Structure 1
Amino acid sequence: MAALVRCATSAGALGRHRTRFARRGHRLRIRSQLLGTLCPLGHPRERVRAVVAGRVASALPLPSPSFPSPTRPRSAGSEGEFMPLHAPDFERLFVPGARHDLSFGMVATVRLQQDAWLWLPTGRVVAGEPAMLGAGEGSEHAFVQRVEPGRYPLVLVVAAYDMPEDRPTLAEIAAAKLVIRDEPVVSWEMALVDGQDLAELDDDEFFGYAVDSATGGFIDAANTALLRDDEFTDRMFSEIAGTDNAAATTLTDDEGRPCLVAFSSGSADGHYPTWVGRTADGEVACFLTDFFILTDDEGEDEDE
């Protein structure tokens, strides 16, 4: 599966680059971790502080995909018209208590967890790997879908795996949802930043963000300046490293307002889309980042 993603460049700016994301490879990484056949260092979340803090401290250039921008010609309305990645039926897949037989041989049960809030002073939502969001102005990273300022709850969709008796329990974050309205979602659309155009996407491609330290997050565009403050980022690294991989980390400002929510990006680094759910009235109901744990097999029968 191809993916068009937003990635940090070595200059610290955010650009749009084409890269490749293999769903099957993602599942194999998960299976290796669950069955204990690989991953001697444990869950990627355990390496967050070392990986992220080490990169920042040494001022190493951030990874940037080397693939070219899309050049494939398209003709609107033709038989060969391309379709971007479609949103799975999240409302059905993420029902609490639902059990999923995953293709790599494991069974996961869904549970919803709400123990964090996010303050949006401008209503301009930014999603991404927290350590990378301090580069540039926050408005460069904000989604074009805006909401009213306020405090909103974060709901984690957790996949709890059935484990053998001789293995420790394991639960991972399958998706993270920032709830704007507690109303049913009737439609989904891809969250976009200014300058992104769905017409540029080929089959099963998406706009999303890159993760290189096993962590994603939500923040308001106005609060990304905090990520350029050494004291704040030191506290962020410490708190993320000390948080369970199936829980959220909340960072507050000097007045105690929740300015950043961070969470484990499922079971692996990669590239992940954020979706906007809308109500029957067309209002934004939520922003949802999917980590391809429970949705990884959606549509695979048609692809093979």
Structure 2
Amino acid sequence: MDEVRPETREYLDGLFTPGLRIGGDPHTPYSWIEIAEVQKVTAIRLPSGWLVVDSPWNAEPPRELAFRIPPGEYPVDVSWANWPHLSDGYYNEYRECAATRLRVRDEPVVTWELALGVGEDPALRAARAGFAAEDAMGCFPDATVWQPLTEPFRRYLADVANAGFGGLGSGRDTEDLCEGHFEFAHDEEHRADLLTFGVPEGWGQVWAGRTRDGETAVIVVPGPVPTSPWD
């Protein structure tokens, strides 16, 4: 059953529709975005199908989704948006990530729901269930390979701490994709991958789009562009 408001559904349906303008008053130049392009970033391997959507900097047990998808390799897409923005008295148009999508099935999405984590109360839906997004970053990895896939991030934090005040560390052992908007890590022993993506500062929200038969079609995480029906 679709539990979201019509304006939220319209927003989620439109995030991956090139040419669509999303937002408020079209005459107010910084209250809307226009979807410019949908691009495949890469594909990630999920050997168990138990998906984590969380910050790679999280030192606590990761936020594993409460439902499982079939083990396999899945494409991840980014929706790029043109964002008119007024900054320091000047009007500029930025290109920013509107959303990141893990494609599970190429079937139409009929219903949307907030994707809860393991052990979370369904009452959290009303409170915008999601994850704390340190450094405005989230990631998709397999829950069973969380530790090795997030090791580059823990090592980076240790390097920064060892470098002392003002130190930057030695960088992360990950691959930059899409001009640094995404980071890709892999573990060949477990044949698993991790992909990071941008989210709004401080909080990431996760949505599951389901088919007519109730199967998971997509996992969508809105990006850092500030236009959404819950702002």
- TM-score, normalisation: structure 2: 0.74
| Cα distance between partner residues in 2 of 1:263 and 1:127 | 10
1:162-214 Cα deviation digits (max 9, x unpaired): 579x8776211121110000110000111112221223555xx2110111212
Task: Name the structure 1 match of 2:49.
Answer: 123
Judging by fraction of residues, say which structure has more helix: 1
What count of residue pairs does the alignment treat as equivalent?
A: 206
Q: Which structure 2 segments of 5+ residues have no match?
A: 157-169
| Cα distance between partner residues in 2 of 1:255 and 1:236 | 23
The match for 2:34 among 109, 130, 145 is 109
Task: Name the structure 1 match of 2:16.
Answer: 94
Relative distance call for 1:112 and 1:195 in structure 2 (3 A) is same
Task: Name the structure 2 match of 1:263.
Answer: 197
User: Alignment partner of 2:135: what SS?
Assistant: coil
Q: Which structure 1 segments of 5+ residues have no match?
A: 1-83
Task: Name the structure 2 match of 1:275.
Answer: 207
| Cα distance between partner residues in 2 of 1:250 and 1:270 | 21
Q: Say whether the 8 Å CA contact 2:22–2:227 is kept in structure 1.
A: no
User: Residue 238 of structure 1: CA displacement?
Assistant: 5.5
Identity of aligned residues (%): 28
Judging by fraction of residues, say which structure has more strand: 2
Q: Say whether the 8 Å CA contact 1:190–1:276 is kept in structure 2.
A: yes
User: Residue 156 of structure 1: CA displacement?
Assistant: 1.0
Q: Which amino acid aligns with 2:9?
A: P
User: Alignment partner of 2:13: what SS?
Assistant: helix
User: Alignment partner of 1:145: what SS?
Assistant: coil
Task: Say yes or no: does 1:229 pair with 2:163.
Answer: no
User: Alignment partner of 1:128: what SS?
Assistant: coil
| Cα distance between partner residues in 2 of 1:229 and 1:288 | 25
1:101-129 Cα deviation digits (max 9, x unpaired): 55662353212111211111000111011
Q: Say whether the 8 Å CA contact 1:125–1:219 is kept in structure 2.
A: yes
Relative distance call for 1:201 and 1:249 in structure 2 (3 A) is closer
- TM-score, normalisation: structure 1: 0.58
Q: More deviation in 253-262 or 216-225?
A: 253-262
Q: Which amino acid aligns with 1:193?
A: G
1:261-286 Cα deviation digits (max 9, x unpaired): 11122xx4121210111111111101
Which aligned pairs between 1:134-149 and structure 2 lie closer than 5 A?
Answer: 135-136=60-61, 141-149=63-71
Task: Name the structure 2 match of 1:150.
Answer: 72
Task: Say yes or no: does 1:252 pair with 2:210.
Answer: no
User: Alignment partner of 1:144: what SS?
Assistant: coil
1:123-180 Cα deviation digits (max 9, x unpaired): 0111011121x533x5xx211111110000001122123579x877621112111000
Task: Name the structure 1 match of 2:131.
Answer: 209
1:23-61 Cα deviation digits (max 9, x unpaired): xxxxxxxxxxxxxxxxxxxxxxxxxxxxxxxxxxxxxxx
Q: Which amino acid aligns with 1:223?
A: V
Q: Say whether the 8 Å CA contact 1:175–1:288 is kept in structure 2.
A: yes
Which aligned pairs between 1:55-66 and structure 2 lie closer than 5 A?
Answer: none
Q: Say whether the 8 Å CA contact 1:125–1:146 is kept in structure 2.
A: yes
* C-alpha RMSD over aligned residues: 3.3
Relative distance call for 1:294 and 1:223 in structure 2 (3 A) is same
| Cα distance between partner residues in 1 of 2:210 and 2:153 | 37
Q: Say whether the 8 Å CA contact 1:128–1:209 is kept in structure 2.
A: yes
| Cα distance between partner residues in 2 of 1:248 and 1:254 | 20
Q: Which amino acid aligns with 1:146?
A: R
